[in-house]
Structure 1
Amino acid sequence: MAVMALKCPDIEVVVVDVSRPRIDAWNGDHLPIFEPGLAEVVKARRGKNLFFTADVERHVADADIVFVSVNTPTKTRGLGAGKAVDLAYWESAARMVADVSHSGKVVVEKSTVPVRTAEAIEKILAHNGHGVEFQVLSNPEFLAEGTAVGDLLCPDRVLIGGRDSAAGRNAVQTLRDVYARWVPVDRIITTNLWSAELSKLAANAFLAQRVSSVNAISALCEATGADVTEVARAVGKDPRIGGRFLDAGVGFGGSCFQKDTLSLVYACECSGLPEAAGYWRQVVAMNDYQKSRFVRRVVSSMFNTVAGKKVAVLGFAFKKGTGDTRESPAIDVCRGLLGERAHVSVYDPMVSEEQIQRDLAPAAAPAKARSRVAVARDAYEAARGAHGVCILTEWDEFRALDYRRIHGGMEKPAFVFDGRNVVDAGELREMGFVVYCVGKPLDEWLSHMPAAA
């Protein structure tokens, strides 16, 4: 919405939310989320044609187009728990839109939703809209955290799905005209509603599948002495494959990949397609395996026990360029280490201590376990007195650390477990470190210590 306000200065954009503290933050100097370039865009348009308010109903009633961007988490109980999307927030929003509207509106799905959600929303609006005419469109977002502003300013595609009727086509054209103010028309794709809804799930599942595929190869590389970086570079030179999303690591995270892949699994199951469901389920299973394999490698390398040992964790966000920790691999790795009774010292340049403690609370519920989690002010503090260092987010600063200084302050032998392949393993070995990099040939030390079962 901020980018839309920037590119369409004659359109009034009002962002509404029921959380007044969140709205206050959007109106203040410290935005509630970190995204490179976003603060500058917000400050450029805020108070001109971009407004943030908790007066939800009044502004929804006045709007011509309503973008619904509510949370759509995975259900934790009931039918489809662990796979199906919980649409409670979406339904609540749709009922509110119907209740307060006195003029026709275009209602746009921005949240990632299961296929045919628009049909359910149409029914809610039709039965509760007091005769007001609504058109529902699907306009999924393909931005990535950390590069979102650039992705929006110059998108590779904008997807708009609508009904094949006169009113539906008019609604599609209305939204298309907004994007055409700054997006080349050949990048604006129009489809039917169901194709647009499914495209978002499919796109994220395909990307997740690429990550799981290269991580599966990384395990074989370690077993055979191959180098996953070299393999990925050779494979990625094939133009039919390409080189993006072929970086091996400790696993994918974020709010979308796992949730959307599991939603696709559930859609396949509900459509009577168990083989297709099993295929996509394995993408998530492979991601879980990669995280647990990393923990096993840490434990087995350090004489098959980390009990009572300090392990430094560098990076807690699911990737660099964001403070988002949703489904971050670091959470599962830390929980695995805590389960082995390690003392974990975490440092991340963009994640608060409160967030780290909150994410690790389920694993650290007992007082003794909670006391084994510390949050450091920098990487050197985190590593001081540690037996091992785990690099779990690819922040640029971790490439430039003084590892000789870090080595001097650690217990010996000093281990580095690089879950993002950011360090020069050869240089660190010359300093005296025992180094493990995902998918890379193992140290002689590590090759004699296979990962614990």
Structure 2
Amino acid sequence: MIPQTPTTPLPFSAIDAEDIAALDDSTAPTTPDGSSSFSPNLRPQDDAGYLNVSSLSTAIAATAPTVRNICCIGAGFVGGPTAAVIALHNPHIRVTVVDKDENRIRRWNSKHPPIYEPGLHDILRIVRDGSGPSATNDELTKPGGLDGVFPREAVSSGNYGEGRHARVQTKSDVARQPNLVFTTDLAKCVSEADVILIAVNTPTKTRGNGAGSATDMAAFEAVTALVARHASPGAIIVEKSTVPCRTAQLVQSMLALYRPGVQFQVLSNPEFLAAGTAINDLLHADRILIGSSNTAAGHKAAAALASVYASWIPPARIITTNLFSSELAKLVANSMLAQRISSINSIAAVCDATGADVDEVARAVGADPRIGGKFLKAGIGFGGSCLKKDVLSLVYLAETLVLPEVARYWLAVVEMNEFARSRLVSRVLRCLNNTLAGKKVTVLGFAFKKDTNDTRESPALDIIRALEKEGPDTIAVYDPVCTPTQMAEQIGRFAGSHVLRANGGPVVVHSDVYSACQGSDAVLITTEFDEFKNGPVEADGVAGGLEANPSQISTSDADDHLSSLNPVPPCDEDCPECQAEDSSAVTGTDGGVGNGADGRDKARVDWTRIYYDMKQPHWILDGRGILDIARMEKIGFRVESIGRPSGQLAKSSPPGNSWC
């Protein structure tokens, strides 16, 4: 059963002045000094009248309207995981995810979710399907796993988000009711909601004014218009998408245009998720940022949204600002992360020209506590839907504010990222005598980063397109998570369908890493999947040599936790994902993300086997710096790794000749 939807709108217009005064009496919230989200400029100041949440539990209990129904518009990489975790920690709230894509919603309602995120499958099973009563049991969860997130009777540790052991107790007479729903009925979903999260895609414009840097707000604007028509009076409308600064003003104007005289509250609540670790980022968020208008009603709405997160996020990590500060903070956060990546990649080019080792340089520089060691891994640059887009959005903002120096500064971050990718292609040509004619090149990794099937702005796409222009016989592509169908569709859309072997082109997608590498003249590593590493198994401290994923639990633990779950909804007879799995079973290949489970086989590649199946001189180009060069050279490979000198080339080539 689904929790009943409230029929009475939240009374935001009737705000008790004493309630707001009680909020203003509390001290200003901060995140812990030295944490990644600590900034004195983000602290709500008492004299500015912003919401104070350092005593959040008390303040919320006294003033926040009760949230019973949340609608999330957009069932993508942000909306789906966010809604699932909110539903998990708020079993009394009905969370509905709506999307116009019927196929995407069908997959969310099946055992084949459209996105891959470690830990997501188990949470979906709980909140979407529910569970029956189970025997009383005390269980000790593993550190870094789904600690205390299962909605049991009690969690005694109280260490929310710290990755420590948490003892949870279940009772035989308690059953978990499903409270997460996926639907295409936007009007109904919006009209019933107390809180409406807008989590639609906001890509970079490709045409018209601002093309190449401005944010394309078409989808966001269309959804806002629909929300304005259907939302109940007093609803809280939340910007979850990454949007340009001052978008809240646009939302407020549209609401006033479509529903004059009706009171709504607009909040900014940007996400800070990383693909591949999104569930862990949600469960153990280092900060929750909420921007609101500096009014009593705005404070009340912010407190209502904060109460949803406060069910599992420590109050000190909930930061409140004004609307525009929240919008801008998201752009700045991603831009600074992108800046660090481009910075270390620029140093990698210097290392290649001098014989220095970029890993050693990064380790020495990162030891400075003012700098830190994160995002100092050299490679072929950043990808994904956020970093490049948000840097370009900041560039466009600076240009419109007539700040050309600021715009040029941030544009250089993107230019350096493109330079990092082009260097890998140039090196492939140099290693293969400046021609790919009649040769086979293998690309390992198609997603833009490990443990995700998100391919947006993937460096592999640019590299494949650049390689295809050199006229190779074959470009083989393999990814441990992305399915061959997904890869072929994305490559055809990005580089043109003519590049696929089915249409006479050189690109062949594989579901098996060994067939992809067989007969190859060079193998390129373009995504840092653990499967591609070759370090000593025992050094990782985990059976099989793989690092433990903090968002996953082992199969045996999953069986213990999930044994009382209700059955998975059955698929239709013509389910394309089931048909793909059946085909994989016949051919002996991996069905990829279509199998609907988190626990994919993460066995490492047998590089010795690949060596004997490749052509001489066995070139490996490590675009992510994940290989142990000495161990690969001991097998017989010739290895090139960005910013890291190989033993063979160090002996045979003077500095400056390693990388183009």
Tell me, yes or no, whether TM beats 0.5. Answer: yes
- Tell whether 2:369 aligns with 1:242: no
**Counterpart position of 1:16:** 98
Does residue 111 of structure 1 match 2:241?
yes
Q: CA deviation at 1:56?
A: 1.1
- Residues 319-338 of structure 1 aligned to structure 2 (within 5 Å): 319-338=449-468
**Partner in structure 2 of residue 186 of structure 1:** 316
Tell me if structure 1 keeps the 8 A contact 2:117–2:275: yes
What is residue 123 of structure 2 aligned with on the other side?
A: 41
Cα deviation for residue 102 of structure 1 reads: 3.9
Partners of 1:29 and 1:389 lie apart in 2 by 34
Measure the CA separation in 2 of the matches of 1:359 and 1:368.
Answer: 11
Q: Does 1:397 align with 2:531?
A: yes
Distance 1:451 1:224 in 2: 9
Tell me the amino acid that sits aligned with residue 114 of structure 2: P
The answer to whether residue 396 in structure 2 is matched with residue 266 in structure 1 is yes
From 354, 372, 384, give the equivalent of 2:485. 354
CA contact (8 A) 1:226 1:440 kept: yes
**Corresponding residue for 2:386?**
256
Native 8 Å contact 2:248 2:266 kept in 1: yes
Q: 2 CA distance for matches of 1:236 and 1:368?
A: 43
Greater C-alpha radius of gyration: 2
After TM superposition, the structure 1 stretch with the greater mean CA deviation from structure 2, 393-402 or 55-64, is 393-402
Question: What is the correspondence of 1:116-195 to structure 2 with a 5 Å cutoff?
Answer: 116-195=246-325
Contact preservation (8 Å) 1:339, 1:363:
no
Q: Report the secondary structure of 1:80's partner residue.
A: coil
1:225 and 1:452 map into 2 onto residues whose CA distance is 10
Q: Which amino acid aligns with 1:386?
A: S
Contact between 2:440 and 2:476, CA under 8 Å: does it hold in 1? yes
Verify the 8 A CA contact 1:140 1:196 in the aligned structure 2: yes
Matched-pair contact (CA < 8 Å) for 1:300–1:450: no
Deviates most, 220-229 or 15-24: 15-24
CA shift at 1:144, angstroms?
Answer: 1.0
> Secondary structure, in 3 states, of the residue corresponding to 2:114?
coil
- 2:139 corresponds to: none
1:75 counterpart SS class:
coil
| Structure 1 residue 365: Cα displacement | 4.4
Instruction: Deviation per CA, 1:169-212: give whole Å up to 9, x if none.
Output: 11111111211121111100000001000010000000001110
Greater relative CO, 1 or 2 (CA 8 Å, sep 6+):
2
Aligned to 1:209: 339
* Alpha-carbon shift at residue 377 of structure 1 (Å): 2.5
In 2 relative to 1, CA 308–14 (structure 1 residues): closer, same or farther, beyond 3 Å? same
2:506 corresponds to which of 372, 384, 404: 372
8 Å CA contact retained: 1:301, 1:446: no
Q: Which amino acid aligns with 1:403?
A: W
- Measured in 1, the distance between the counterparts of 2:308 and 2:210 equals 37
User: Matches of 2:653 and 2:204 in 1, distance apart?
Assistant: 38
Tell me the residue number matched to 1:2. 84
Secondary structure (helix, strand or coil) at the match of 1:345 reads strand
Unaligned 5+ segments in structure 1 are: none
Find the partner of 2:444 among 305, 314, 320: 314
1:275 is matched with which residue? 405
Aligned pair in 2 of structure 1 residues 365, 56: CA closer, same or farther (>3 Å)? closer
Aligned-partner SS, 1:249:
coil
Indicate the residue corresponding to 2:548 in structure 1.
none
TM-score in terms of structure 1 length: 0.97
Aligned to 2:515: 381
**Which of 495, 502, 510 matches 1:363?**
495
1:255-301 deviation line (CA, Å, top 9, x unaligned): 10101110010001001110011110000000000000110011011
Map Cα deviations across residues 405-446 of structure 1 (whole Å, 9 max, x no partner).
211111111100001112111122222221101111144266
Rate the CA distance shift 1:450–1:335 in 2: closer, same or farther, 3 A. Answer: farther
Equivalent pair of 1:301/1:449 in contact (CA under 8 Å): no
C-alpha RMSD over aligned residues:
1.6
Deviation at 1:39, TM superposition (A): 1.2
**Which whole-Å CA distance do the structure 2 matches of 1:80 and 1:307 have between them?**
39
Q: What whole-Å deviation, never above 9, does each CA across 1:217-240 have from its counterpart, x for those lacking one?
A: 111111101101111111111111
Residue 595 of structure 2: aligned partner: none
Letter in 2 for 1:74: T
Q: State the match for 1:422 in structure 2.
A: 626
Query: What CA distance in whole angstroms lies between the structure 2 residues aligned with 1:413 and 1:10?
Result: 62
Answer yes or no: is 1:31 the counterpart of 2:113: yes
Partner of 2:641: 437
2:331–2:393: 8 Å Cα contact kept in structure 1? Answer: yes
Mapped to 2, the partners of 1:417 and 1:220 lie a distance apart of: 18
Q: In the alignment, residue 381 of structure 1 is paired with which amino acid? A: S
Q: SS in structure 1 opposite 2:311? A: coil
Q: CA deviation at 1:91?
A: 1.0
Is 1:410 the counterpart of 2:608? The answer is no
Contact 1:101 1:129 in 2 (8 A): no
Q: Structure 2 CA distance, aligned partners of 1:113 and 1:77?
A: 18
Per the alignment, in what secondary structure is the counterpart of residue 124 of structure 2?
A: helix
Superposed CA deviations along residues 313-356 of structure 1, whole A, max 9, x for unmatched, are: 11111110101111111111111111111221011011122222
Q: 1:345 — aligned with what?
A: 476
Which residue among 412, 415, 419 is the counterpart of 1:289? 419
Structure in which a larger fraction of residues adopt helix: 1
- Would the aligned equivalents of 1:334 and 1:344 in 2 still touch at CA under 8 Å? yes
The C-alpha deviation readout for 1:81-123, integer Å capped at 9, x for no partner, is 0110111111111111111134221100000000000101100
Contact 1:70 1:89 in 2 (8 A): yes
- Pick closer, same or farther for the CA change 1:256–1:447 going to 2, 3 Å: farther
User: In the superposition, relative to structure 1, how do residues 76 and 364 fare at CA in structure 2: closer, same or farther (>3 Å)?
Assistant: closer
Change (3 A) 1:242 1:368: closer
Q: Are the equivalent residues in 2 in contact too, given 1:313–1:392 (CA < 8 A)?
A: yes
- Equivalent in the alignment of 1:74: 204
Helix, strand or coil at the partner of 1:51: strand
1: CA distance, partners of 2:613 / 2:308 = 57
Any idea what SS the aligned residue of 2:495 has?
A: coil
Which runs of no fewer than 5 residues in structure 2 stay unpaired? 1-82, 130-177, 534-603
Do the aligned residues in 2 keep the contact of 1:304 with 1:452 (CA within 8 Å)? no
Tell me, in whole angstroms, the C-alpha distance in 1 between the residues paired with 2:304 and 2:183.
Answer: 25
Aligned to 1:221: 351
Which secondary structure state, in structure 2, belongs to the residue aligned with residue 286 of structure 1? helix
Question: CA 1:126 to 1:364, structure 2 compared with 1: closer, same or farther past 3 Å?
Answer: closer
Amino acid at match of 1:2: A
